[in-house]
């Protein structure tokens, strides 16, 4: 009989939530970047965190996204395991809007589940990880965690009880712009209106319906026509310098559409193929080189894989 595994290394992908019209319900996994996390069964009670990166995240597990997620899982084990040790190498920059905290939380619960012979379902893992997300953003939401764990495009139809629906999608390239500015979640939230016009709500759900149909049919033109947000983007885009110009130039370069990733500041644009995605990258550079804000830009793909165990 092989000895029981005591250590697992995982890679957790960055994710895009609030996919244009799919505010609060749709997300997808990116192929790059990924956080690396090593999780070990430990004789020491609770969760011990060792940071191997430059971000100085809290090592108190109760204040650390990964720590809280793993404490939630540990709690469900009723003392079967004393504790876990996390060795965290963050690559996804915290606060960039591409699911950095979700990656931390998702990584450690998937790793721990592997150490426990995969006794928890993906939905249960999402629920544990959501406890971690709550520390980061003050709200239990799954729109980054679900695609981080499931991979691909996911729909959160309902939060309580949790209802995660994987949405089949055709291959797509993603150009991600990360302007090096900080957007406070509270600010991004505060800018949202509490009420919306009925006619705008109808337009939004028509586009959400079109987007789901377009993804499932593999109909790029329909995906493109449906990538319209009449409710959130008009408000939140003012927090991102030159957003309108970035979008316009991306569309001219052939992007299917795109918008704010999560609550920003990152912006994503979807393309049908790699050549177009690089044209979109060049078009965005053309805009942002003149802005005077440091930025990072890269091309990746929607990944059909979630957290990978190695």
* Residues of the shown chain interacting with its own copies in the complex, contacts defined by CB under 8 A: 21-26, 155-158, 163, 165, 167, 192-198, 201-202, 204-213, 216-217, 222, 225-226, 231
Distance CA 155, CA 72 (A): 24
| Cβ nearer to its own copies, comparing 98 with 227 | 227
Active site residue 133: yes
Q: CA 226, CA 296: separation in Å to the nearest integer?
A: 27
- Within 13 A of 255's CA, how many CA atoms are on the CB side? 28
Distance of CA 223 to the CA centre of its chain: 20
From 185, 228, 300, 301, the catalytic residue: 185
| Nearest to 247, CA basis, from 280, 276, 203 | 280
Three-state DSSP at 6 gives coil
Minimum CB separation from its own copies for residue 282, in Å?
Answer: 31
Shorter beta-carbon distance to its own copies: residue 61 or 214: 214
Which residues, 6+ apart, have CB-to-CB distance to 182 below 8 Å?
95, 265
Find the shortest distance in angstroms from Cβ 52 to its own copies: 38
CA distance linking residue 12 with residue 29, whole number of Å: 9
Angle between helices 243-252 and 274-288 (to 10 degrees): 140
Catalytic residue among 85, 133, 134, 249: 133
Instruction: Decide whether 21 or 299 has the Cβ nearer to its own copies.
Output: 21
Nearest approach in angstroms of CB 13 to its own copies is 22
The two structure tokens encoding residue 39: 């999780």
**How far is residue 49's CA from residue 12's CA, in Å, rounded to a whole number?**
17
Residue nearer to its own copies on the CB measure, 175 or 204? 204
To the nearest whole angstrom, how small is the minimum distance from the Cβ of residue 145 to its own copies? 16
**Shortest Cβ 232–its own copies spacing (Å):** 9
**C-beta of 108 vs 212, nearer to its own copies:** 212
> Would you call 185 a catalytic residue per the annotation?
yes
Q: Give the active site residues.
A: 133, 185
């Amino acid at each position: 009989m092989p000895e029981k595994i005591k250590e697992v290394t995982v890679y957790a992908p960055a994710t895009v939530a609030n996919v244009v019209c799919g505010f609060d319900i749709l997300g997808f996994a990116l192929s790059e970047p990924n956080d690396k996390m090593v999780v070990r069964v430990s004789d020491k009670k609770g969760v011990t965190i060792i940071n191997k990166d430059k971000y100085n995240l809290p090592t108190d597990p109760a204040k650390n996204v990964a720590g809280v997620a793993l404490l939630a899982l540990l709690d469900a084990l009723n003392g079967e395991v004393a504790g876990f040790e996390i060795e965290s190498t963050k690559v996804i920059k915290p606060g960039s809007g591409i699911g950095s905290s979700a990656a931390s939380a998702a990584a450690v619960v998937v790793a721990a589940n592997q150490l426990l012979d995969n006794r928890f379902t993906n939905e249960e893992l999402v629920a544990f990880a959501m406890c971690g997300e709550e520390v980061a953003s003050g709200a239990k939401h799954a729109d980054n965690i679900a695609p981080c764990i499931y991979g691909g495009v996911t729909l959160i139809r309902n939060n309580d009880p949790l209802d995660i629906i994987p949405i089949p999608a055709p291959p797509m390239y993603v150009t991600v712009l990360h302007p090096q500015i900080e957007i406070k979640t509270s600010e991004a939230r505060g800018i949202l209106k509490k009420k919306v016009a009925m006619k705008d709500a109808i337009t939004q759900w028509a586009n959400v319906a079109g987007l789901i149909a377009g993804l499932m049919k593999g109909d790029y033109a329909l995906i493109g026509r449906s990538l319209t947000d009449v409710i959130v983007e008009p408000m939140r885009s003012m927090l991102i310098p030159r957003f309108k110009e970035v979008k316009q130039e991306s569309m001219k370069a052939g992007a299917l559409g795109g918008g704010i990733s999560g609550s920003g500041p990152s912006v994503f644009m979807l393309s049908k193929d790699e050549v177009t995605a690089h044209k979109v990258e060049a078009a965005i550079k053309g805009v942002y080189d003149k802005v005077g804000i440091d930025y990072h830009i890269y091309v990746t793909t929607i990944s059909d894989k979630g957290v990978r165990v190695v």
